[in-house]
């Protein structure tokens, strides 16, 4: 890529600088489970993530400014505004799952939010809660209290990202619910542009940054089948893998099943056939 300088790699994305103001985020087909990137890729997963995030960016622009400038014809590369990312992950939870459930079971609260007694795993919360986390370089993010998060980014800015996160979550959760998908929780990352304005960055409202549950199978009182990675997790459990790197190779049935679920999430949420997106990624922007 002659017009770009590689500036970083995450578990899923490669980052390139296009110039001082713009980055190219390229979403690979890598899949991680239990925080380990597996040796087998899921074809088109990066395109699904890129297309879905762009779809939401286009639809939430009036609620919150975001970094998206353009999606490239490959369907997996996003040109975006380069931001100074805030050092917190902005998590909104509408349901009790993952570390939220763990913390609740241990202490009756999540990130300083006292919750009613007697909630079950995967129960819907009376109101969504904001549960910030640190952006740990190791990949294992840690929940922190609202006060700790406010100390990291400043009280005023904290208030602003909390409000924006709730607004985005409520909009997307309502939208998805009508299409048969529960967004149990989701993570946003915000940054500051050159003028110090808050801008939504990274990916947003994708199966990698959220828990998507099929609404017709929702049954609180235990873990829910996740929309995307369930095949992979189930397979990994079966192999007896100890969840440290390297992870197991995935058989072709698991790869195909997982790809189908990612594509299904894309099609259900956007209402656009995935083949149409592949032919012209700009369809998600209008
Ligand atoms: N507009 C932006 N400007 C600057 N950095 C950004 C922007 N949008 C996203 N980023 C950063 O780019 C990276 C995206 O890469 P990726 O999602 O693969 O990694 P990650 O989520 O940090 O780490 P991992 O997924 O490995 O835990 C993140 O560090 C994110 O904070
Ligand atoms: Mg990421």
Encode pLDDT of 23-37 as tens digits.
999 999 999 988 899
pLDDT value of residue 1: 63
Go through the chain and tell me how many residues it has. 286
Residues pairing with 8 in the sheet:
15
The model's pLDDT over 94-116, given as tens digits with 9 standing for 90+, comes to: 999 999 999 999 999 999 999 99
Ligand 1 in contact with 68 (CB < 6 A)?
Answer: no
The model's pLDDT over 212-251, given as tens digits with 9 standing for 90+, comes to: 999 999 999 999 998 888 889 889 989 999 999 999 999 9
- For atom 8 of ligand 1, the residue with the nearest CA is 202
pLDDT value of residue 136: 75
Within the chain, where are the H helices? 45-60, 98-107, 146-153, 155-177, 230-239, 252-270, 274-279
Ligand 1 in contact with 44 (CB < 6 A)?
Answer: no
CA of 191 to the centre of ligand 1 (A): 11
- For atom 22 of ligand 1, the residue with the nearest CA is 10
- For atom 23 of ligand 1, the residue with the nearest CA is 10
Confidence of residue 139 (pLDDT cuts 50, 70, 90): low
* Cα of 220 vs its chain's centroid, Å: 22
pLDDT value of residue 176: 98
The model's pLDDT over 247-270, given as tens digits with 9 standing for 90+, comes to: 999 999 999 999 999 999 999 999
C-alpha separations of 127 from 113, 146, 173, 235, 279 in Å:
11, 16, 13, 34, 40
Distance CA 265, CA 131 (A): 25
Ligand nearest to the CA of 11: 1
pLDDT > 90 in the chain, percent: 89
Q: How many CB atoms lie within 10 A of CB 74?
A: 12
Confidence of residue 137 (pLDDT cuts 50, 70, 90): low
Distance CA 100, CA 90 (A): 14
Whether 4 shows a pLDDT value over 90: the answer reads: no
CA of 70 to the centre of ligand 1 (A): 17
Ligand 1 in contact with 29 (CB < 6 A)?
Answer: no
Tokens 């656009």, located at residue: 272
- For atom 29 of ligand 1, the residue with the nearest CA is 10
pLDDT value of residue 138: 64
Q: What is the pTM of this model?
A: 0.95
Greater confidence (1 vs 160) lies with 160
**Encoded tokens for 127:** 């109101």
The closest of 165, 161, 167 to 197, measured between CA atoms, is 161
Distance CA 228, CA 255 (A): 11
Ligand nearest to the CA of 30: 1
């Amino acid at each position: 890529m002659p017009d770009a300088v590689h500036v970083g790699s995450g578990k899923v994305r490669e980052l390139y600088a296009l110039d001082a103001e713009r980055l190219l985020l390229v979403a690979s087909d890598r899949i991680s489970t239990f925080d380990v990137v597996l040796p087998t890729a899921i074809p088109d997963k990066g395109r699904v993530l890129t297309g879905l995030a762009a779809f939401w960016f286009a639809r939430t622009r009036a609620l919150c400014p975001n970094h998206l400038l353009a999606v490239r014809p490959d369907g997996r590369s996003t040109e975006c505004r380069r931001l100074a990312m805030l050092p917190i992950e902005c998590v909104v939870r509408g349901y009790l799952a993952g570390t939220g459930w763990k913390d609740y079971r241990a202490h009756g609260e999540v990130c300083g939010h006292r919750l009613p007694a007697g909630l079950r795993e995967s129960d819907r919360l009376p109101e969504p809660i904001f549960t910030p986390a640190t952006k740990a370089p190791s990949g294992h993010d840690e929940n922190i209290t609202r006060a700790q998060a406010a100390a990291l980014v400043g009280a005023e800015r904290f208030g602003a990202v909390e409000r924006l996160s709730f607004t985005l979550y409520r909009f997307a959760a309502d939208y998805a619910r009508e299409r048969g998908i529960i967004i149990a929780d989701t993570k946003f990352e915000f940054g500051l542009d050159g003028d110090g304005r808050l801008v939504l960055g990274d990916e947003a409202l994708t199966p990698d940054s959220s828990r998507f549950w099929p609404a017709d199978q929702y049954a609180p009182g235990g873990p829910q089948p996740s929309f995307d990675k369930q095949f992979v997790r189930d397979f990994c459990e079966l192999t007896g893998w100890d969840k440290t790197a390297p992870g197991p190779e995935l058989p072709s049935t698991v790869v195909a099943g997982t790809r189908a679920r990612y594509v299904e999430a894309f099609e259900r949420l956007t209402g656009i056939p995935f083949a149409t997106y592949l032919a012209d990624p700009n369809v998600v922007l209008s």
